[in-house]
A = this chain, B = another copy of it.
């Protein structure tokens, strides 16, 4: 499992006083970077090899802004297919799980616009981050 600490930004609150729901997919994208890096080690956007197929987010509790309100994003793999994978992510704030979601990503060749099998060397790295569903 990968862990990323994110400090909520004032800009990310909305008029209801909490973090707006649209921010969670932004944080989840940030926290998938260790996985992006397995596919594109130098993170050069010209060599990008992943495309997103689907996201889901369950909102479980309000996420707050303020002092001591850093969140921890936990990221693991729940499924590794031939060319796709399902990434499970959670937002934790003050020992509470506030949001949980999945992202389905595909190993993709942008030049030919086709999916392609996940290479074995990357697959074995991904397997280290497998979590039970």
Contact = CB atoms under 8 A, between A and B. Distances in A.
Interface of A: 7, 9-11, 13-18, 20-22, 25-26, 29-30, 33, 36-37, 41-46, 48, 51-59, 65-67, 69, 110
17 contacts: A9-B26, A9-B29, A10-B15, A10-B30, A15-B17, A15-B48, A15-B65, A16-B45, A21-B52, A22-B25, A43-B65, A43-B69, A51-B59, A54-B57, A54-B59, A55-B56, A56-B57
Contacts of A57: 54-56
B53 A59 contact: yes
Counting every copy of the chain, the complex holds 4
A30 B59 contact: no
Given A9-B29, A9-B30, A20-B10, A65 B53 contact: no
A56 B54 contact: yes
B37 A10 contact: no
A125 to B, nearest CB: 16
Nearest to A23: B11
Contacts of A30: 7, 9-11
Contacts of A14: 10-11, 13-15
